[in-house]
Amino acid sequence: MSKAKSFNIPKSLVFTAFKAVKKNKGSAGIDKISIEKYEKNLKNNLYKLWNRMASGTYFPKAVKAVEIPKKNGGIRVLGVPTVEDRIAQMIVKLSMEKIIDPIFLNDSYGYRPNRSAHDAIKVTRSRCWKYDWVLEFDIKGLFDNINHKLLLKAVYKYAKYKWEILYIKRWLANPVSNNNKITKNTENGTPQGGVISPLLANLFLHFAFDKWMEKRFPNNKWCRYADDGIIHCNSRAEAIFILNCLKERMKECKLEIHPGKTKIIYCKDSNRKENNKLHEFTFLGYSFRPRKAKGINGSSFTSFLPAISNKAKKHIRRTIKSRYLLHQTQITLAEVADKYNSVLRGWLNYYGLYGKNELKKVLHHMNDHLVMWVIRKFDKLKTKKMKARKLLNKIAKENPNLFSHWTVGVLPMTG
d(CA 49, CA 399): 51
Give the model's pLDDT for residue 81. 95
What would the mean pLDDT of 314-335 be, rounded to a whole number?
92
The percent of residues in the chain predicted with pLDDT above 70, rounded, is 95
What would the mean pLDDT of 363-381 be, rounded to a whole number?
87
Kindly report the backbone phi and psi dihedral angles of residue 397, in degrees, each rounded to the nearest multiple of 5, phi listed first: -70, -35
Instruction: Choose the weakest-confidence range: 80-94, 123-137, 241-255, 270-284.
Output: 270-284
Measured between its terminal Cα atoms, the distance across the chain in Å is: 66
Which residues fall within 8 angstroms of residue 374, CB to CB, at 6 or more apart?
Answer: 381, 388, 391, 392
Give the model's pLDDT for residue 176. 86
d(CA 50, CA 20): 16
Residue whose C-alpha is closest to residue 87's, from 29, 33, 19: 19
Domains of the chain, CATH where assigned:
11-260 (3.30.70.270), 309-398 (no CATH)
Give the model's pLDDT for residue 254. 96
Amino acid at 76: R
Angle subtended by helix axes 310-322 and 356-377, to nearest 10: 20
pLDDT band at 2 (very low <50, low <70, confident <90, very high): very low
Give the model's pLDDT for residue 185. 65
Instruction: Choose the weakest-confidence range: 12-16, 195-199, 376-380, 387-391.
Output: 376-380
- Pairing of the two strands 133-138 and 176-178: unpaired
d(CA 178, CA 66): 8
d(CA 349, CA 189): 33
Give the model's pLDDT for residue 226. 93
Q: Mean of the per-residue pLDDT values for the chain?
A: 92
Give the model's pLDDT for residue 66. 86
Give the model's pLDDT for residue 360. 95
Residue whose C-alpha is closest to residue 50's, from 92, 112, 93: 92
pLDDT band at 68 (very low <50, low <70, confident <90, very high): confident
210 DSSP assignment: I
193 DSSP assignment: T
Give the model's pLDDT for residue 23. 95
In the β-sheet with 63-69, what is the strand arrangement from edge to edge? 75-80, 63-69, 176-178, 181-183
pLDDT band at 73 (very low <50, low <70, confident <90, very high): low
d(CA 57, CA 48): 11
d(CA 46, CA 17): 10
pLDDT tens per residue, range 244-303: 999 999 999 999 999 999 999 999 999 898 888 899 999 999 999 999 988 888 889 999
Altogether, the residues listed in the chain come to a count of 415
pLDDT at 408 exceeding the cut of 80: yes
Give the model's pLDDT for residue 108. 97
Give the model's pLDDT for residue 4. 57
Give the model's pLDDT for residue 229. 97
pLDDT at 325 exceeding the cut of 80: yes
Q: Are 93 and 199 in contact (CB under 8 A)?
A: yes
Q: Are 367 and 316 in contact (CB under 8 A)?
A: no
What would the mean pLDDT of 123-128 be, rounded to a whole number?
98
d(CA 107, CA 223): 5
Q: pTM for the full model?
A: 0.91
Give the model's pLDDT for residue 1. 42
